């Protein structure tokens, strides 16, 4: 009985060793019995074992990026490309120009190319089930990076990214402090339907809910870009003028666009209109040093190292947590000058 138990794994080992030794395509199961009957020495056996484990150098990664809408995104892309280069990973990178259909096409092409693992930052939360299922059916694991998708958990290996609700709460609490608990706020929302826009709105509202003097008087999307942020702020100013006490922008780029609009309108950003935003990119530190921005909540884009670490684990069948959160802080103008030289994005 015991011998029988040992016999099957031994036969399998001999077969694998023989297949590896004669470099036949692994999918060819019609290998002849005589090939399998080679003697298996221990060194051959261990190299056959290793051959099933991927290393960075023999891993092919498909990455479906959103676009280049913000400073944050530029830093995120640079981190992923740089780390792939450092590790010797073969990276197939696609820029979807902020269109979900382009991201879906990219994922399909990665599936066709049989990459080992796919990374994707879903531009919006919904509409991913079909294509994620296709990746699953093809046996290709998928890692959500930066943004979550609204899909069942079995359709992705793990999510690497921030707690956007918590960022919204931090922004709301900072705004209460800055306004002394009272003020009329306009909100520049991120890309409609995206996880960070949805969650940063929720967290902010949660934080100000018990402070009745805090009132959101207008809320509109600036799509996470400077140009749109400026445009929408101009519209807010046209409607509400100096009734506006504060701006909450879901990212720094929109805040920076809005700062321009406020100056052109003849008001002082950071004084007449207090501003809190999210990301903590260099441009935000510069604006804080100039006194035009009152606070930025950090959202870390340098996800390259953690992403490839997870990718290798997932490809090799290791257990990984369903969510790997990134560590984040919050910054105010008094420390901006000292910290700017240390900022990496």
Nearest alpha-carbon partner for 123 in 187, 73, 170, 71: 73
Q: In this structure, are strands 183-189 and 214-221 parallel, antiparallel, or unpaired?
A: parallel
Nearest CB to ligand GYE, comparing residues 72 and 285: 72
Given a contact cutoff of 8 angstroms between Cβ atoms, the answer to whether 301 and 284 are in contact is: no
For 345, the token pair is: 């994005």
Nearest CB to ligand GYE, comparing residues 91 and 254: 254
Nearest CB to ligand GYE, comparing residues 116 and 187: 187
Q: How far is the CB of 18 from ligand GYE (least distance, A)?
A: 49
Q: How far is the CB of 115 from ligand GYE (least distance, A)?
A: 23
Contacts for 314-318 with beta carbons within 8 Å, 24 or more apart?
A: 314/117, 314/141, 314/143, 314/157, 314/158, 315/54, 315/59, 315/116, 315/117, 315/141, 316/53, 316/54
Nearest CB to ligand GYE, comparing residues 70 and 245: 70
Contacts for 18-22 with beta carbons within 8 Å, 24 or more apart?
A: 20/44, 20/47, 20/48, 20/51
Nearest CB to ligand GYE, comparing residues 134 and 166: 166
> What's the sign of the alpha-carbon dihedral 73, 75, 78, 84?
negative
Q: How far is the CB of 72 from ligand GYE (least distance, A)?
A: 3
Q: How far is the CB of 149 from ligand GYE (least distance, A)?
A: 12
Q: How far is the CB of 321 from ligand GYE (least distance, A)?
A: 19
End-to-end CA, the chain: 63
Q: How far is the CB of 303 from ligand GYE (least distance, A)?
A: 10
In the complex, the residues that contact ligand GYE under the rule CB under 6 A are 69-70, 72-73, 146-147, 196, 224, 251, 253, 278-279, 299
Nearest CB to ligand GYE, comparing residues 245 and 300: 300
């Amino acid at each position: 009985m015991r011998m029988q138990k040992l016999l099957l794994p031994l036969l399998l080992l001999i077969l694998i060793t023989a297949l590896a030794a004669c470099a036949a395509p692994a999918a060819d199961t019609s290998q002849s019995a005589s090939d399998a009957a080679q003697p298996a020495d221990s060194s051959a056996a261990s190299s056959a074992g290793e051959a099933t484990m991927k290393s960075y150098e023999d891993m092919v990664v498909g990455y479906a990026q959103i676009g280049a809408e913000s400073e944050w995104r530029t830093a995120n892309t640079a981190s992923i490309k740089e780390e792939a280069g450092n590790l010797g990973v073969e990276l197939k990178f696609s820029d979807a120009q902020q269109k979900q259909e382009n991201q879906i096409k990219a994922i399909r092409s990665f599936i066709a190319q049989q990459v080992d693992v796919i990374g994707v930052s879903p531009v919006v939360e919904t509409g991913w089930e079909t294509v994620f299922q296709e990746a699953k059916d093809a046996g290709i694991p998928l890692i959500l990076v930066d943004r979550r998708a609204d899909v069942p958990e079995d359709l992705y290996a793990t999510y690497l990214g921030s707690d956007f609700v918590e960022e919204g709460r931090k922004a709301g609490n900072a705004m209460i402090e800055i306004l002394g608990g009272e003020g009329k706020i306009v909100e520049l929302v991120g890309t409609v339907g995206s996880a960070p826009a949805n969650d940063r709105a929720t967290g902010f509202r949660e934080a100000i809910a018990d402070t009745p003097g805090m009132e959101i008087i207008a809320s509109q999307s600036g799509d996470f870009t400077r140009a749109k942020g400026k445009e929408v702020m101009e519209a807010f100013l046209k409607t509400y003028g100096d009734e506006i006490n504060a701006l909450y922008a879901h990212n720094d780029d929109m805040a920076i666009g809005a700062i321009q609009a406020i100056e052109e309108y003849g008001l002082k950003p950071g004084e007449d209109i207090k501003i809190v935003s999210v990301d903590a990119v260099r441009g935000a530190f510069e604006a804080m040093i100039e006194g035009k921005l009152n606070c930025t909540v950090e959202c870390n884009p340098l996800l390259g190292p953690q992403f490839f670490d997870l990718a290798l684990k997932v490809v090799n069948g290791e257990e990984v947590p369903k969510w790997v959160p990134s560590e984040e802080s919050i910054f105010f103008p008094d420390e901006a000058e000292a910290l700017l030289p240390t900022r990496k994005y």
